[in-house]
Each structure stands twice: as C-alpha cells, then as structure tokens.
Structure 1
Amino acid sequence: MKLSGLFLGLFLLCADRRSSGMFHPKPSCRYPPSQWCRSLRIAIECKVQKQCMELTVVRSVRSVPPVSVTLYYDSLCPASRVFISQQLFPTWVMLQDIMTVTLVPYGNTKDLPTTNSPFVCQHGEPECTTNMIEACIIHLTGHVAFQIIHCMESAADVLHAAQPCVQLYAPAVSWSSVDSCLKGDLGHQLMRANAALTRALTPTHTHVPWVTFSGEYTEENEDRAMSSLFQLVCQLYQGVKPPVCTAATVKLNRGFC
C-alpha cells in the first residue's frame, strides 16, 4: 500500500467515526488528511494521534527489506520437488509479506556446443524440456508464476501438468505463447540466462536444491532451510515479526481425554 493509500484509509476511518458520533475533531483542525501526521501538534489538534502512531509503525515495517530467497533447482529432481511443495511454497504462502522468492530452473544442466541439443540434463531430455517450460512460464506469467510452478512440481507428472496449471492460475496467458517460447529463441535465451546465474554462484553449487538468502549461501542456512524454512525466514527478517512468526513458537497446553 502506498503512503497516499494509508492517508486515505486514515481519512475514511476518521470520517466514519465522525458520522457515527465516535469522532469529534476540534473546529480548529483545518489541515487536509495528507498533513494530519506531519507533526505531533497537528495530530493532537485533529485528534488522530493514535492513527498516526499506527501509521509510523507501518512505515518502519515497510522500510525493512524482505528476506530474499533464491532457489536454483532442476524441475524433475525429486529433492527439488519436495522442497518446493513442502517447504518453499507453504512458507511463502504464510510469509509472503516479509519474503520474496526467485526461481532459477537450470540446476545441474550442462551446456552443449551443438545447436540441435544445446542442453543435457541430469534426468534426461524431459527435464530439459520442463526446465525450459518453467523458465518460459516464469517470464510470461509474472506474479502468479510461483503458484504455477508449485502446481506443476506437486503434480504426479510435472511436464503434463504444465498446461492445466497455466490455465488455472493464468487464464489470460495462452498456452500457445508458452509453446512459442519453448520452441523459439526466447526459451533458449532464458535458459542461457539461468545458466549464467547458476555458474556465477559463489561457492559453486554442487547439488540441487541450492538455496541462497540475500544472494549468499551457507551450509548452515541450507540445513535449516531443508528442515524448517519457515522458522529460518522468521528469524532472518530484521523488521517487526508478523504475528504468524510468534505464533509458531507458542506452546499449547497439554490436554487429555
């Protein structure tokens, strides 16, 4: 939400309270909503100091960058599929306000100099095709790409799930555009870009899934991510923790029947 939207919400809140008799600003409050929180004096004069304090908290939370998680993976690698479906996606669903996810499908793929088969993949040609399809989907579908990739990776057949998953989460994107990307130059360009990102990793990746946080890899963070990515993201976030983070550590009272 932009700052102007916050002021609009503040204005509507005060207007609603005014109409219901709960809010009675002094006649001397001659300031427009955009200036209500400019100073403590104005906030007190317009009787919105509580709302301005809440707005200050929102500002401080939004000034903290989210936890940046990047996953380097192969689309048909069983370990990658488990991590996406059981760790990364559920964590993102719960913590998407404090984390971002970048997917780089390439993993252990190797470049070949021949033009007929430019890539060779650990799990065969189907994986090369699926890697490129997912790269195309990420490029073409934008903010819903993660939902589509999760839909594919959690399916029994990743490759054959691609088209129905695209139709489910991005109905405005035609499958023909994905197919054109796959069979044309765009798909190869996207894969070469993913190859460059993967080769630039420091240290050099030795397996997939390979996870970095804010561009950095450590074995400790990888071990923790594999066991409880949710708790790790909550801990790495430097801002005010969302309620779901603190709720995760609450111990429930034991009961018996």
Structure 2
Amino acid sequence: MFSIILSLIFPIYCATQIDIFIESQCPDTVRLFKRMKTLLDYEQINEYVQFNFIPFGKGNEKLVLNKGYEFNCQHGNKECYGNLIDSCVLEQLDQIEQLRYLTCIHQEKQNNEELINLSLKKCVQNQECVYERTLKCVQSKFGNYLQHKAAKITLAQNLVEIPWININGQHIPEFDKKFKQNPLKTICEQIDCEKIKVTF
C-alpha cells in the first residue's frame, strides 16, 4: 500500500506530450508513420507519452458566410479531404487506436476521395461504426469545426515544414530531427524504457 501511495506522490515517469503536425498527402508524413509503427510493439509507452496528432499542415482557411470554413491545402483538395477524414477519425479513437489507424492510412494510396474512403474502411476494418460516423462527420458542421480547430492550432505554429514536432508545447529543432529519424529511440531518451523492455 505504501509503495502505491509513494508512486502516486513521486511518479516514476514524467508525462511527455508530443504534438505531431501532419498532412494526409505528405511523403514525409508517410515516412514518419513507417518509423512510428515500431511504437505499436510497445503499447505501454502510451502510458507515459501523450501524442496529439494535428492533421492540417501547410495550408490556410477562410470563413465563408453561412458555409463555415473553407480550406486550402499544400497538396490540393484531396489532401483537404484526407485531413478532414483524419480529424473525424481521431476524434473517435483512443491513443493506441489513433496510432494504429495513422500508420495504416499513411501507407495506402489516396489519390482521390474514393480511394481515401476505401483506405479509411480498410484502416478501421473492425470498427464499422467508426467508418460510418466518419463519413457523416465529413459532411457535418462538427467536421468543419474539427478541421478549423486543427488549422487554428497549426497556423499558430509558424511551421516551416511537415511533419512538425513539438515536445511539451515547444518546438526544439534537435528533438524534431531525432524523432523523425528514430521515434522509439528518441522517446526512450525522455522516459525510462528499461521497464518497458524496449529493444533496438
């Protein structure tokens, strides 16, 4: 009992927050999630790291009367649609499921809305309700709000490249670079991975 109380007062790990700004059609985002796939082998890491995935990237938005927000994206309309899909999916999933979904969707061909929808269905294959809710979300005011929220957070960063990675609310170029090269190793420099039995 005493050890439980002690661990609550003096936790073994300090929580780390990692914000990851992404785009649905960005080749560098695809490469990042290929490397992040290794994190799925160590799900316990998610107890000590909070990931925030923000799908907007290099773009802009404008408010149109009676329509909500309209978005322009670096890689065109298909990217805006893909970002919106991601925003709607991420809203429904816990962190492990978010990572699993993103590592899947970013390995799929997404050359148009039809292919994006097929990729979505594949990547939430055991969660039919997520697929159906996502398609409704995309057409809704709530979906528009979610994408506006992602745009607002992204535009406040003055980012120069995608992916763009912050740790604990700050952009540290060295951390950004190291994380893109080896996410698992970089995380283990922030938390004690010995008890998680991480092997490189």
TM over 0.5: yes
Match of 1:96, as an amino acid?
Answer: N
Deviation string, structure 1 residues 46-104 (Cα, Å, up to 9, x no partner): xxxxxx6xx57865784533322110011110101110122x23235423333221110
Q: Determine whether 1:67 maps to 2:25.
A: no
**Which TM-score applies when normalising by structure 2?**
0.82
Q: Determine whether 1:135 maps to 2:87.
A: yes
Alignment partners' CA distance in 2, 1:104 and 1:98: 20
For residue 177 of structure 1, the aligned residue among 133, 149, 155 is: 133
Alignment partners' CA distance in 1, 2:39 and 2:63: 39
CA displacement at 1:197 relative to structure 2: 1.1
Q: Once the two structures are aligned, what percentage of the paired residues are identical?
A: 16
The verdict on how the C-alpha distance between 1:93 and 1:61 changes in structure 2, with shifts beyond 3 A counting, is farther
Answer with 151-160 or 206-215: which moved more: 151-160
Equivalent residue for 1:195? 151
Equivalent residue for 1:162? 120
Match of 1:139, as an amino acid?
Answer: E
The verdict on how the C-alpha distance between 1:100 and 1:108 changes in structure 2, with shifts beyond 3 A counting, is same
- Kindly indicate whether the alpha-carbon contact (under 8 Å) linking 2:120 and 2:131 is maintained by their aligned counterparts in 1: no
- Kindly indicate whether the alpha-carbon contact (under 8 Å) linking 2:89 and 2:130 is maintained by their aligned counterparts in 1: no
CA displacement at 1:155 relative to structure 2: 1.9
The verdict on how the C-alpha distance between 1:138 and 1:174 changes in structure 2, with shifts beyond 3 A counting, is closer
For residue 98 of structure 2, the aligned residue among 145, 148, 151 is: 145
The verdict on how the C-alpha distance between 1:117 and 1:196 changes in structure 2, with shifts beyond 3 A counting, is closer
- Kindly indicate whether the alpha-carbon contact (under 8 Å) linking 1:92 and 1:99 is maintained by their aligned counterparts in 2: no
Structure 1's consecutive aligned runs of 4 or more residues displaced over 3 angstroms after TM superposition are 55-63, 112-117
Alignment partners' CA distance in 2, 1:156 and 1:221: 30
- Kindly indicate whether the alpha-carbon contact (under 8 Å) linking 1:138 and 1:146 is maintained by their aligned counterparts in 2: no
Structure of greater relative contact order (alpha carbons < 8 Å, 6+ residues apart): 2
**Which TM-score applies when normalising by structure 1?**
0.65
Alignment partners' CA distance in 2, 1:228 and 1:163: 29
CA displacement at 1:125 relative to structure 2: 0.7
Larger-gyration structure (1/2): 1
The verdict on how the C-alpha distance between 1:93 and 1:175 changes in structure 2, with shifts beyond 3 A counting, is same
Greater share of strand: 2
Alignment partners' CA distance in 1, 2:25 and 2:105: 10
Alignment partners' CA distance in 1, 2:69 and 2:90: 22
Equivalent residue for 2:25? 76
Aligned length: 190
Match of 1:90, as an amino acid?
Answer: T
Alignment partners' CA distance in 1, 2:146 and 2:68: 17
Cα RMSD of the aligned pairs, angstroms, is 2.6
- Kindly indicate whether the alpha-carbon contact (under 8 Å) linking 1:68 and 1:99 is maintained by their aligned counterparts in 2: yes
Unmatched 5+ stretches in structure 2:
none
Q: Give the 3-state SS of the residue equivalent to 2:81 in structure 1.
A: helix
Equivalent residue for 1:97? 47
- Kindly indicate whether the alpha-carbon contact (under 8 Å) linking 1:91 and 1:230 is maintained by their aligned counterparts in 2: yes
Match of 1:207, as an amino acid?
Answer: E
Q: Determine whether 1:205 maps to 2:159.
A: yes
